[in-house]
A and B are shown apart, each in its own frame.
Chain A
Amino acid sequence: KNEVEQSPQNLTAQEGEFITINCSYSVGISALHWLQQHPGGGIVSLFMLSSGKKKHGRLIATINIQEKHSSLHITASHPRDSAVYICAAHNNNDMRFGAGTRLTVKP
């Protein structure tokens, strides 16, 4: 069993839909990251959170430390949101990555 599990692996949505990507982890963490990887491979850090909830534009990330679970939500999804979303559990120098969720938003 992977230490960081993401679901779903693949997700196809229609433009405007509300999207949720889930991440469960089994390791102790100091923070959890959500990353966005574009088709060309470049990676953007979306959020780093250790508790509660963060919001940036149409993106919302939540984390429940007790349940070792985090979610990334995208409101009013748009084709430009199509990318691979990766959660990563961070503990000091160690970062464990989920396998990623490939999101495709159709117009």
Chain B
Amino acid sequence: GAVVSQHPSRVICKSGTSVKIECRSLDFQATTMFWYRQFPKQSLMLMATSNEGSKATYEQGVEKDKFLINHASLTLSTLTVTSAHPEDSSFYICSARRAGGGIQYFGAGTRLSVL
């Protein structure tokens, strides 16, 4: 089945640094990728939707200058948390979908801890 690889799985960083999370579709071309955030014991919340080659669409309340998304190829999207602060500590999950819609395949997630 389709596989989405997300890296790193865990990152600890100091406040003020930037962190990049990669999301790769390993055996299919993902025209659309989604980035979610999950706080402890809460459901996933969509942060942004990115289509290959175009700017990401951010959900209301998500700062696009804070969470930079790049979807430069059909197999790779990146989320960069700029100038991370402790309140950015969370679990970030990506998912990818083929052209034409259908099932979303989820990455394993990245647990970000900002000290």
Contacts and interface: CB of A to CB of B under 8 A. Distances in A.
Contacts of A35: 106
Contacts of B108: 40-43
A45 interface: yes
Given A41-B38, A45-B103, A45-B105, A97 B111 contact: no
Contact of B104 (A30, A45, A99): A45
Interface size class of B (residues with CB under 8 A): 20 to 34
Interface of A is mostly: strand
A61 B77 CA distance: 31
B102 A98 contact: no
Nearest to B91: A41
A92 B46 CA distance: 14
Nearest to B92: A41
B44 interface: yes
B11 to A, nearest CB: 13
B42 A43 contact: no
A100 B108 CA distance: 17
A92 B101 contact: yes
28 contacts: A30-B101, A40-B108, A40-B109, A41-B93, A41-B108, A41-B109, A41-B111, A42-B106, A43-B93, A43-B95, A43-B106, A43-B108, A44-B106, A45-B103, A45-B106, A48-B102, A86-B43, A86-B44, A90-B104, A93-B32, A93-B49, A95-B34, A95-B46, A95-B104, A97-B45, A99-B42, A99-B43, A100-B43
